[in-house]
Amino acid sequence: MPRRTTSSRRSRGRRRARRRAPLPLLAAAAAGLLALTAGGTALAAHRAVVVDVNGTERTVHTFGGTVADALDAAGVTLADGDLVAPAPDAPVASGEHVLVRSPRDITVELDGHPLARSVNAATLGEALHQLGLDPDGVSLSAGHDTPIPADGLTVTAERAPRMVVLRDTVRTETRSTGETVADVLAAAGVDPGEHDLVSPAPDEPAVPDMTVRITPVVGEPVTEEVPIEAGTTERENPDLPEGEREVVTEPEDGVKRVTTATVLHHGEEVEKVLEEEVVTEPVEGVVEIGTKAPEDAAPAGGGAAAGLNWAGLAQCESGGNPAAVNSAGGYYGLYQFSVPTWNSVGGTGLPSEASAQEQTQRAQRLYDAVGGNWQSQWPHCGVHLFE
């Protein structure tokens, strides 16, 4: 475009020269215009490029448009085996970096076994991938920024512990020198989802040969409040009449906040509780049950029934077991009461569920109720009453 402009002006200048200006003067003006245009083109082509030769950087200025031009401006002559990035014939723009790396010998004593290579690297960190070593998978005796001198470098290294990341059924093995579970996940290239369950937690310390388990969460978790059913405790009250029940504390249900989600378990979608938080504790109910015996059931203070050998009768009827139940059914307790007979002397429930004291009281009342006719009640064992 500038050349057309210059040419056009030159043509118009010639036409004007025929009328107004001597030829030498017009020629000088055209030459000045050409110089000005050329100077603007050169300024536009100027480039500032950073050239890094084996870790040493310098900024050079060049009017050339390729990497080779930048190297020439830096006075760099490539030797056999040198690597250049970008390639020498690649275009280069102002502000770009050009790297030159010469061959360097490096020896890594890996777990006691020497690994010797020639690498094109300025630092130990740059050399690791050329050595086939994962930077996160080895522990080195020198830092990654350690320069590799021209006469070579020797370092020692140990392989990092082996770790396993198990994402449901997908298993990934890695090595890592990281300090946390998050470092292990990064080394394995595993990025858990926002709601995925990670165990141990990402901020937990990493330990050798550990397995990190990830339970993938499908979709968004759901949180809702659900009741906590309150229970009721029963306790005996010796001051309350036998059989009576008294509510001391009414039970009150609590509330908990439960978060659930659909997760993958062995490849199947299942519901899982992720978190529970108690909002309101339940209040347990308390009921007292009376155990005080009725006054009319108190042992006889005297008389024929009180002086009989009730222990002997019980031993014969039940072996002295208050909870005895006849194998044929229908007879219970120390004195083998039938339920109708038990009820006739004021008993409730099953005789075998009453205390030994109450059973003896009821037996004495029965003896008195039949007028001492023990044969009608205990025809086989009654004789022991008189021993």
pLDDT in tens, 89-123: 999 999 999 999 999 999 999 888 898 999 999 99
pLDDT of residue 242: 85
Q: Which helix (H) or strand (E) holds 223?
A: strand 217-228
pLDDT of residue 9: 37
Contact (CB, 8 A) for 100 and 83: yes
- Segment 3-30 mean pLDDT: 35
> Confidence class of residue 46 from pLDDT cuts 50, 70 and 90?
confident
CATH architecture of the domain with range 47-101: Roll (3.10)
**What's the pLDDT tens digit per position in 71-93?**
998 899 999 999 999 999 999 99
**What's the pLDDT tens digit per position in 277-333?**
999 999 999 999 988 876 544 444 346 788 899 999 999 999 999 999 988 878 999
Q: Please say whether the structural domain 103-159 has been given the CATH code 3.40.50.1100.
A: no
- Kindly write down the DSSP assignment for every residue of 182-210, as one continuous string: HHHHHHHT----TT-EEES-TTSBP-TT-
Fill in the amino acid letter for 175: R
Measured CA to CA, the distance from residue 331 to residue 345 in angstroms comes to 15
- Segment 378-385 mean pLDDT: 92
Measured CA to CA, the distance from residue 364 to residue 355 in angstroms comes to 14
> Confidence class of residue 268 from pLDDT cuts 50, 70 and 90?
very high
pLDDT of residue 295: 58
Q: What fold, for 221-290?
A: Resuscitation-promoting factor rpfb fold (2.20.230)
Chain-wide mean pLDDT for the chain? 84
pLDDT of residue 42: 40
Burial classification of residue 7, based on how many CB atoms lie within 10 Å of its CB (0-12 exposed, 13-18 middle, 19 or more buried): exposed
> Confidence class of residue 139 from pLDDT cuts 50, 70 and 90?
confident
pLDDT of residue 161: 85
pLDDT of residue 15: 38
Which structure tokens are listed for 57? Answer: 């950087």
CATH architecture of the domain with range 296-386: Orthogonal Bundle (1.10)
Measured CA to CA, the distance from residue 366 to residue 115 in angstroms comes to 104
pTM over 0.85: no
Q: Which residues contact 55 (CB under 8 A, 6 or more apart)?
A: 122, 123, 147
